Amino acid sequence: MGLYLAHHGVMVTWTAQSLAAALLGDNSPGVIERARRAFLQIAGEVVRAEGGTFPIA
């Protein structure tokens, strides 16, 4: 994962594991999988509410 700060010419990067740990407080597989499932459920509800199909093919 990365963030490019163009004005400063700086690229800040994180590994997926370190980003998961920072966002979730834990990067163990069970915690990541629960967060993934929760995200997919909410994303699906939002996409369907807007008239879309989920998962997007």
Q: Indicate the pTM of the whole model.
A: 0.68
Q: Go through 16-48 and write b for each residue having 16 or more CB atoms within 10 A of its CB, e for each that does not.
A: eeeebbeeeeebeeeebeeeeeeeeeeeeeeee
Residue 31 has a pLDDT of: 93
Q: What angle do CA 33, 34, 37 make, to 5 degrees?
A: 85
Pick the closest to residue 45 from 33, 36, 55, 35 (CA basis). 55
Residue 5 has a pLDDT of: 97
Per-residue pLDDT of the chain in tens (57 residues, 90 and over written 9): 999 999 999 999 999 889 989 999 998 999 999 999 999 999 999 999 999 998 876
